Structure 1
Amino acid sequence: MAAEICTSCYRNGIAVSNAHAPIGVMDDHMHEKGKWMLSYRYSHMDMDGNRIGTRGVTPEEIATTTPNRFASVMGQPPTLRVVPTEMSMQMHMFGAMYGLNDDVTLMAMANYTKKSMDHITFAGGMGTTELGRFETNTQGWGDTKLGALIRLYDDAIHHVHLNAGLSLPTGSIDEEDEVLTPMGMRPSIRLPYAMQLGSGTYDFLPGLTYSGNVKNFGWGAQYTSEIRLEGENSEGYALGDKHALTAWGSYGWADWISTSLRLTGTTQSDIDGVDSSIIAPVQTANPDNYGGKTLELGLGVNLLGTQGVLKGQRFGIEATAPLYRDLNGPQMETDFRIQAGWQYAF
């Protein structure tokens, strides 16, 4: 099918802001043959507290009642004596898109990630006496994503395309840092899975995107997934497959500004396998304590340059917060996420 011009994406020949999805939605639109788009996104996520299923739990409850997977290993306590309390993740994402022809757009994305996690260490093998607190940190380049967007349908209002991508295992999976053990020692060890920078596997990234736009109203939906193509990485495990469905609506207050509301449901399975170098009395060292189901609400703003030096540039920001969490736990819970970005099409 030959591509048709999205007449509702323009007013008096100028692009309108509500033709775009919220900035937190990746690969939501295509580009004409020979056209480029460069992008930068910054994402900040905060996690605070822990949850088992849908129930919040305290560090003291985890430390005294949750069995340690590695209790049979010499020197390991019977319960989890180290408990994470807060985590933050900052990500810088650099992207490029190119219209191979009017029906196929190529994309590439690299990211630089910084993670930090705060912990409480409880003294000895039992009780709730706090021995101390410590923080672990990692940073570096994550996995690299390559892909294509393939047009399936396009008219003046409705647009549908297929997302097909591949994630390359360029992120480190052997990061180490110093920790505080229940016996008061401070060794440098292999950090748990949540603090690593990549998956270690080649991952297939299929998806499907629909969007619509009429006058001041925009809307859309997108399904995305991460499917591990290998049974295990070089360290003996594979992250769980992930599936996400998001839907949004937007309203353009003017050609240059729109606001949006978005719902996102995500499900992810736990980790398959185990890294034999990750052994610690902390929940993040247990592959079973990953994945679950979440529902998040996002509020966003899009700003679109329509003339002068800003023409072709888009600025967006979106804040999301959880509505529902059912986690394979104990597991840290997301408190909020903010994403801001810039895009330049030419």
Structure 2
Amino acid sequence: MKPTSVAGHGRLLAATCAALFFFSASSLAHDGIDHSKPAPIRADSHAPIGVMGDHMHKAGEVMFSYRYKRMDMSGVRDGMDDLSNAQVLATPNRFFGAPMQPPGLRIIPTEMTMDMHMIGAMYAPNDNLTLMVMGMYMKKEMDHIVFNPPGNAQIGGFTTKVEGLADTKVSGLVRLMDEGPTQVHLNIGVSLPTGSITEEGAILTPMGMRPRVRLPYPMQLGSGTVDVLPGITYTDRSGDISWGAQAMATLRSGRNSENYQLGNAGELTTWAAYQFAPWVSTSLRLKGETIGKISGQDARIAGPVQTADPSNIGGRFIEAGLGVNLVGQEGYIRGHRLAIEANVPVMQDLNGPQMKRDWSLMAGWQYAF
């Protein structure tokens, strides 16, 4: 983990939350002549910011949103066990036998960061249907150390970087139940392959050469396929307490143009929130996730590194999250929402040697009218 980077993001997010606390508190303390006030807007009427497609809108309503997510990974784990560099170097190289390929892994990823910028829009043509679209711009960086062919000496390191558009999600939320605070709706969507799957970068090989190659699967920006996104969401509340649950899946439609298919994925999340006042709520969330291995193989991705092996992808994860939702109540900030959520892994059981998750942080703004 890079302390200066984390500290910088922490200061920015703390300043953002402090600003909205100030403005919201100021608006609530307003003492004008006209004391007639519109109905309060509950901060917890939206799920934690890390949950997508959690709420529907009334006929004619529009909502715009922006989310920023930072995710950090470091170290190597296989299954439930953390691996030392020596254990990674003893792992067989899938591509051994091809020219310039040593018998074991010789390039070890040490840290990966992902920065995601998500812009979304929602529109409700009627009370029972809300349409949603979300585009994403992503930046990835991965640091590596490199060992010589015998694996007994480190010869250097390198960093690969990519950025660009990721896949675009288009969804419809269909109401199933509307009984006061109890709400249930279907999530029906598709993910469109707008993210690149042919990203390249310069690397350092165990032989000391610096070729430009197609980067491994975790460094690509999209799936390359049209993916189906089915799901269901439930929300409810009683007094100052609200809760909800959501089940979502990502179903791949087939192999992409580079002859591989990312694994199907499933996610189940549940949360509870407490409203301290209409303008502020805090939440606890638990998320379980499963991600399958890659089927097929990109012929241009090869090398003595774990990320080039399509079987070293995915696993089973449980994460816990703590969030804060804020919403303006009066004046020019009425209806504007700011939210933040931090997540840490509770359990991660990985499919072969991979970098393990350290933490993720998401902050966002939403406004409906």
User: What is the TM-score normalised by the length of structure 2?
Assistant: 0.89
The match for 1:253 among 276, 284, 288 is 276
The answer to whether structure 1 residue 83 and structure 2 residue 108 are counterparts is: yes
Runs of 4+ in structure 1 off by over 6 angstroms are none
1: distance between equivalents of 2:86 and 2:235?
47
Aligned residue type for 1:170: T
Task: Give how far 1:128 is off.
Answer: 3.0
Share of identical aligned residues, percent? 53
- Residue number in structure 2 paired with 1:66: 91
Instruction: Give 1:12 deviation, angstroms.
Output: 6.8
Out of 204, 207, 211, the residue aligned to residue 180 of structure 1 is 204
CA–CA distance in structure 2, aligned partners of residues 306 and 213 of structure 1: 20
CA distance in 1, matches of 2:276, 2:360: 25
Is 1:345 the counterpart of 2:368 in the alignment? yes
Is 2:185 the counterpart of 1:142?
no
**8 A contact 1:165–1:204 mirrored in 2:** yes
Structure 1: give runs of 5+ residues left out of the alignment: 1-10
Q: How does 1:97-112 map to 2 (within 5 A)?
A: 97-112=122-137
Matching residue within 146, 152, 171 for 1:128: 152
Matches within 5 A, 1:233-312: 233-312=256-335
1:53 aligns with 2:76: no
Counterpart secondary structure, 1:194:
helix
Q: Which amino acid aligns with 1:61?
A: Q
Residue 218 of structure 1 corresponds to: 242
Structure (1/2) with the larger helix percentage: 2
What residue in structure 1 maps to residue 117 of structure 2? Answer: 92
Give CA deviations for 1:118-169 in whole Å, capped at 9, x if unaligned.
Answer: 0010012x23310101100000000011010000001112100000000000
For residues 121 and 290 of structure 1, what CA distance do their matches in structure 2 show?
Answer: 21
CA distance in 1, matches of 2:350, 2:151: 26
Bigger mean CA deviation after superposition, 254-263 or 15-24: 15-24
State whether structure 2 residue 222 is matched by structure 1 residue 198: yes
In structure 2, what is the Cα distance between the partners aligned to 1:76 and 1:127? 12
8 A Cα contact 2:281 2:326, kept in partner: yes
Instruction: Please state if 1:41 is matched with 2:67.
Output: yes
* Per-residue Cα deviation, 1:243-296 (whole angstroms, up to 9, x for no partner): 000000000001100000000000111000000000111000000000110100
Quote the Cα distance in structure 1 between the aligned partners of 2:152 and 2:84.
11
Shift of 1:59: 2.1
Could you tell me whether the CA contact under 8 Å between 2:187 and 2:233 is conserved in 1? yes
Report how many residues are paired. 333
**2:106/2:151 contact within 8 Å kept:** no
State the AA in 2 paired with 1:220.
Answer: G
Q: Distance in 1 between matches of 2:205 and 2:84?
A: 19
SS of 2:86's equivalent?
Answer: helix
Give the TM-score normalised by the residue count of structure 1.
Answer: 0.95
Distance in structure 1 (CA, Å) of the matches to 2:333 and 2:243 = 25
Query: Which secondary structure does the structure 2 equivalent of 1:61 belong to?
Result: helix
Contact kept, 8 Å, 1:104 with 1:151, in 2: the verdict is yes
Residue of structure 2 in register with 1:3 after alignment: none
Cα-to-partner distance string for 1:91-128 (whole Å, 9 max, x where unaligned):
0000000001100000000000000000010012x233
Gaps in structure 2 of 5+ consecutive residues: 1-36
State the one-letter code of the partner of 2:127.
D
Q: Secondary structure at the match of 1:138?
A: strand
Residue by residue over 1:144-199, the C-alpha shift from the partner in whole angstroms, topping out at 9 and shown as x without a partner, is 11010000001112100000000000100000000000000000000000000000
Report deviation, 1:303. 0.3
Find out whether 1:160 has 2:184 as its counterpart: yes
1:118 equivalent in alignment to 2:143: yes
Q: Paired residue for 1:7?
A: none
